[in-house]
Structure 1
Amino acid sequence: MVEKFKTHLQEENMAKNTISAYAYAVADYYSRYKELNKKNLLLYKAYLIEDFKPKTVNLRIQALNKYLIFMGRTRLRLKSVKVQQKNFLENVISNEDYIFLKKKLKKEDNQEWYFVVRFLAATGARVSELIQIKVEHVNVGYFDLYSKGGKTRRLFIPKTLRTEAQQWLADIKRETGYVFLNRFGERITTRGISQQLKNYAEKYGLNPKVVYPHSFRHRYAKNFLEKFNDISLLADLMGHESIETTRIYLRRSSTEQQEIVDKIITW
């Protein structure tokens, strides 16, 4: 049934990573319980709560609920657990460190990684989306992404980045195909990007905890709201289903909070 479930999710145009996560959750459930009933589902939920963080628990529950709908057993659906949202953003690269990093990469003529950092911070792309960007997308200025439920999100490539990237691509004579390649000329992997960013953080004396792909997506959101305070538009650009997800970017990072506290509280 797990394979049939995967096929069903593919037919719904769900993202590959989501399909893998959902299939894993269902397979994990069946590795522990033979029957699909309320008692076993609640036992599985209890196990998840004890061993995993709320975000992971809810992902597994979401997967199982999707499977229950697929099986026509909607009455067995589980309730998600409450996730207490932090009142600050954690491990977000500062704008100063972002500028420092891209300047260092450009100064050393490390164009490929300069543009990896630029594209992440200037488009708000997830790393899984970044590696799908092609030369053709750069030329038209956007990349249409098809997510779960057949929804479309347009990833815009801003004019300044587009112009700069087109010049670079022309210089290296890359006229078609994926923009970011590994040393073998194949599309780079998400893991490859994450590891290399850590390497550059260490090389340039930056905090490795804030130099990772999703950190630049956070930077994109923070910078966008500082320049153009429209949280509804930002939610659309980032592909958030709920505006509540986007509200976290109205808050300051833990580092920013510390700096403000240190500066103003002198009593």
Structure 2
Amino acid sequence: MKLIQDITPLCLSAGILREFEEYLRQEERSVNTIEKYARDLRAFFYFVGDRAVTKERVLAWKESLVVRYAASSVNSMLAAANSFLNWAGYPEYKVRFLKIQRGVFSKPEKELTQSEYAKLVKEASKKGNERLSLLLQTICATGIRVSELQYITVEAVYTGWAEVNCKGKRRMVFITDKLCRLLKKYIRKQKIRTGSVFITKNGRALNRSNIWRDMKALCKRAGVKPGKVFPHNLRHLFARRYYSMEKDLSRLADILGHTNVNTTRIYTVESGETHAKQIGRLELIIT
């Protein structure tokens, strides 16, 4: 274990950070989490410079983040720093997260509607990008994370379910009959014999940046605002649709792979417009 007071920016990036990343790997944290923590910690190290780390300097870094980032982003960066400080043996230097009141309604400018989702799928098909059309439908019809797309394999399609391993948790994801039929047809057409269904021309699994870029390219022609179009919003749409039909938050949490039901609540928040219409249907205005 290193003493934080002896850390310099050079040895942080070359040594301590590497040791901490290895610790996170041993803890079976996801690749994305490790990369995110490393990125946030580099910002923290840069702020501290060659000075000794103290509680006051950690608080000063927190204050500098507050004026530049949204509260949720600040908290995610503080999580990285707190985890590092705890690992390094200085838990007394950890700082509190910002308090964020849970939103009652989602922001209309961020919520992807079902009709907008349909426009994106149709535009992908119109452009002849069958892979993208099916990819959008696969994420939205299963509720998986974009990082879990790799588990939608030829074998999974032919059995009707995929075993997903994410963040140290395994869960079963069902692939509907209708989606299976579409994917089987695509698999035969592309002559994919085994492994991931969604691959590049070189046979490699699609990564997040490939998918993000392809989705953004649909926005203008489909008439959907770019701020609404990103892979995770398809997962949110799945969650809202499921909850509107079943009203079973615990089951939805299991389907999405959430340990905490409070995380699932965020996914089921609807727009204020939807709530206003529901209240209007109460028909309590007399005159």
Q: Which amino acid aligns with 1:53?
A: A
One-letter amino acid matched to 1:56: S
Alignment partner, residue 201 of structure 1: 219
Give 1:27's aligned amino acid. R
Report the RMSD for the aligned CA atoms in angstroms. Answer: 2.7
Q: In the TM superposition, what whole-angstrom CA distance separates every residue of 1:85-128 from its partner, at most 9, and x where no partner exists?
A: 32212322212232344345446654212211111101112222
The aligned residue for residue 37 of structure 2 is 22
Say if 2:142 is the partner of 1:123. Answer: yes
1:43 — aligned with what?
60
Gaps of 5+ in 1: none
* 1:260/1:2 CA distance change after superposition, 3 Å: same
Tell me how far 1:2 sits from its aligned partner. Answer: 0.7
Deviation (angstroms), 1:256: 3.5
Partner of residue 181, structure 1: 199
1:136 to 155, 169, 175: 155
Residue 213 of structure 1 and its aligned partner are, at CA, apart by 1.2
- 1:76-115 map, 5 Å: 76-90=93-107, 91-106=110-125, 110-115=129-134
How far apart, CA to CA, are the structure 1 residues paired with 2:186 and 2:237? 24
Q: CA deviation at 1:261?
A: 8.6
Contact 1:58–1:80 (CA under 8 A) maintained in structure 2 = yes
For 1:48 and 1:117, how far apart are their aligned partners in 2? Answer: 35
Q: Which moved more, 1:231-240 or 1:251-260?
A: 251-260
Distance between the aligned counterparts of 1:237 and 1:163, measured in 2? 22
Q: Would the aligned equivalents of 2:123 and 2:218 in 1 still touch at CA under 8 Å? A: no
Structure 1 stretch displaced more, 49-58 or 234-243: 234-243
Runs of 4+ with deviation above 6 angstroms: 258-267
Give the match for residue 11 of structure 1: 26
Structure with the larger RCO, 1 or 2 (CA within 8 Å, 6+ apart): 1
| Secondary structure, counterpart of 1:51 in structure 2 | coil
Which structure has the larger Rg? 2
- Identify if the C-alpha distance between structure 1 residues 254 and 194 changes in structure 2 by more than 3 Å, giving closer, same or farther: farther
Paired residue for 1:219, among 234, 237, 247?
237
- Structure 1 residue 218: deviation in Å? 0.9
Structure 2 CA distance for aligned equivalents of residues 238 and 8 of structure 1:
27
Aligned with residue 237 of structure 1, among 255, 261, 273 = 255
Note if 1:53 corresponds to 2:70. yes
TM-score by length of 2: 0.81
